[in-house]
Amino acid sequence: MTEDLTKFFQAMMEQGQKMASAFAPAMEGMDAKGFEKLFPAMPKEMLEAWFGKTFNPEGLDARTRLLVTIAALTVLGAQAEAQLRLTVRQALSAGATQREIAEVIWQMSMFGGLPAMQKALEIAQSVFAETAQTTGANTGEKDA
């Protein structure tokens, strides 16, 4: 990046942080990891209400919408790491399986490239491991 572009980006980020702290003072200084901890996983019913049948009662359910979101975030690559981590967790909560999530990510290798796919799979696998540790449950699925 050029120095002018770097300064512009920095000013934009500072402005966004000021705006966020004005709207929600408790979130001031919170980074993506902090935001992730704030919303570890929504209940399936809430996901369905917000991301499923609310948009279009006859349309996609929350699970499918979250799988589509994982596809888009995979193609975006490493810049969407925090969002991908959160969306994988939400998709599991909405009923998606580890295998379905892995298949969606693999499919995106044609569009986002192998490095983006590999990074997304690493992120998904770390979420799978975290989920297994926090729930203490074995999903019975083979590693994705």
Is 0.85 surpassed by the pTM of this model? Answer: no
89 CB burial (10 A radius; 0-12, 13-18, 19+): buried
Residues of the chain with pLDDT under 50: 35, 139-140, 142-144
Amino acid at 92: L
User: What angle, 0 to 180 degrees and rounded to 10, lies between the N-to-C axes of helices 62-76 and 81-93?
Assistant: 160
Q: What's residue 141's pLDDT?
A: 54
Q: What's residue 101's pLDDT?
A: 97
Q: What's residue 132's pLDDT?
A: 86
SS3 label, residue 21 = helix
Query: What is the CATH code of the structural domain delimited by 32-135?
Result: 1.20.1290.10
Q: What's the rounded Cα separation, in Å, for the pair 127 and 103?
A: 15
Q: What's residue 70's pLDDT?
A: 96
Nearest to 67 by CA among 98, 86, 91: 91
Q: What's residue 143's pLDDT?
A: 45
Q: Which residues contact 19 (CB under 8 A, 6 or more apart)?
A: none
Q: Which residues contact 122 (CB under 8 A, 6 or more apart)?
A: none
85 CB burial (10 A radius; 0-12, 13-18, 19+): buried
